[in-house]
Structure 1
Amino acid sequence: MSGSNSSVPDSRPEPAEGLSLTVHTLPNLAPERRRLSGRLQMLMVLAVCAAPVIASYFTYYVVRPGGRTNYGELIDPQRSLPSLPLQSLTGEPVPASSLKGQWLLVAVAGGACDAACEKTLYLQRQLRETLGREKDRVDKVWLIPDGAAPRPEVLAAINPKGAEATVLRVPAEALADWLKPAAGHALADHFYVVDPMGNWMMRFPADPQPAKVKRDLEKLLRASASWDNAGR
């Protein structure tokens, strides 16, 4: 009706008696984000530190221009240095981890050291010396898997001043769990190359050709020049 001051009643439902709304606080994500950021930063630092090592191995193992071959047999996968029960010649325990930090040219032979052993140790010494200024990045290691005592003249020959060899005893069974000869050969028939991180990564053929062994060693040293330094 005209002029009427009547109004349409409010049709919205009244809230039920006793009903209340609760607002939950959103979780604070800032600490979790900081933790995630910290982990990412740590991974980035590790990646930067490992990059030179990865690059050198990639160069040596993967990027091989035509005609470039290795004389030594690459070990795939590499075998990490285990906790070998090493002993000095006087019977003192030597931690296997002490061998890390240098390239190792490893020979295996009994302590009595026959003519073949003497030839191997002589070649080991000469190979290191021919590396010139890079020789300090390579250690000579003679592992003795028996209880025979090396003759004094042999020890004197392999330990010239400033180029001493590392001579250690190790049980044959323990050593056989790490180093392996080629099929049809004995451990004493080869030189074994271990990288500064303790990985056995190359085995040279029996009765090796010195010039070819030297070439492989030089390539390894060049490939690792950006991250490996002389001495432990």
Structure 2
Amino acid sequence: MSGSNSSDRGSGAELEAPSPLALTVHSLPAPTLDDAARRTALGRLKMFLILVVCAAPVIASYLAYYVVRPEGRTNYGSLIEPARAMPAALPLADLDGRPVAPASLQGQWLFVVVGGGACDAGCEQRLWLQRQVREALGREKGRIDKLWLVDDAAMPRAETLAALQRGDAVTVLRTERAALAAWLAPEPGHRLEEHFYLVDPQGLWMMRMPAQPDPSRLKRDLERLLRASAGWDRPGRP
């Protein structure tokens, strides 16, 4: 019996204890150069999209004015295509004879009247309408300069000049008719001085208004141009 008990104890001692559960820990992948490049590219893309959003109004106005001209769109004035740049050599001077550089007129829209210094009734009517239409533009009027180009040697009358100083003064410059006629042109059958001419802030003559224009339609054309060109010009001329 004792031998039997001894044998049982011996075989029990030989049973192996259960082994502990083994866990394997895998390390996380380290960032690679490809990840860094991807983040850099994503950051640049976001910056580009921000710039596009900021520039979109300017781009849209440029396209609306210079590129997109739907067939259904109506203008009262005649668009000049291609627009004609103001000649760098156009002779300009103030009424005291001091030369004025054509480039100094850039930066704003120019609402131009042409006429001799004697300024007959038709000339005075156009200068009056020039002032009235510009005033009717309200808060946008500061984006347009009134310009009277005197195309002969006659001196404007004192009463005419005094009338031009009411409100925002008209810029009065003298030039040579032949040089002016090489840039601006009337409709067939009309004279140079019968029209209003619109020059954009880059110095490009781009529209001619009909002779004896309808003031309300003239104003509407100006409003459309100012909306389409928001941001192109500076407010007021020093």
The partner residue of 1:168 within 163, 167, 173 is: 173
The partner residue of 2:222 within 214, 217, 225 is: 217
Quick check: 1:201 aligned with 2:200?
A: no
In 1, are the aligned partners of 2:112 and 2:196 still within 8 Å (CA)? yes
**Alignment of structure 1 residues 40-55 onto 2, 5 Å:** 55=60
In 2, are the aligned partners of 1:145 and 1:169 still within 8 Å (CA)? yes
Task: Determine the structure 1 residue equivalent to 2:116.
Answer: 110
Q: By percentage of residues, which structure has more helix?
A: 2
C-alpha distance in 1, partners of 2:129/2:203?
23
List gaps (5 residues or longer) in structure 1: 1-47
Task: Determine the structure 2 residue equivalent to 1:154.
Answer: 160
List gaps (5 residues or longer) in structure 2: 1-51
Task: Determine the structure 1 residue equivalent to 2:68.
Answer: 63
In 2, are the aligned partners of 1:52 and 1:227 still within 8 Å (CA)? no
C-alpha distance in 2, partners of 1:79/1:205?
18
Identity of aligned residues (%): 64
Task: Determine the structure 2 residue equivalent to 1:34.
Answer: none
The partner residue of 1:87 within 86, 93, 106 is: 93
Cα deviation for residue 156 of structure 1 reads 1.1
C-alpha distance in 1, partners of 2:175/2:114?
10
Q: Secondary structure at the match of 2:213?
A: coil
C-alpha distance in 1, partners of 2:106/2:233?
11
C-alpha distance in 1, partners of 2:192/2:213?
14
- Work out which of the two has the higher radius of gyration on C-alpha atoms and give 1 or 2: 2
Q: Secondary structure at the match of 2:217?
A: helix
Name the count of aligned residue pairs: 186
**Residue 131 to residue 60, structure 1, CA distance change in 2 (3 Å):** same
The partner residue of 1:185 within 177, 182, 190 is: 190
State the Cα RMSD in Å. Answer: 2.3
C-alpha distance in 1, partners of 2:116/2:105?
20
Cα deviation for residue 206 of structure 1 reads 0.4
Provide Cα deviations, 1:52-78, integer angstroms capped at 9, x if missing partner: 666324213543567531000000000
Give me the TM-score of the superposition, normalised by structure 2.
0.72
Provide Cα deviations, 1:166-221, integer angstroms capped at 9, x if missing partner: 10000011101110101011110100000000000000000000000000000010
Task: Determine the structure 1 residue equivalent to 2:49.
Answer: none
Find runs of 4+ consecutive structure 1 residues off by over 4 angstroms. Answer: 48-54, 64-67
In 2, are the aligned partners of 1:103 and 1:138 still within 8 Å (CA)? yes
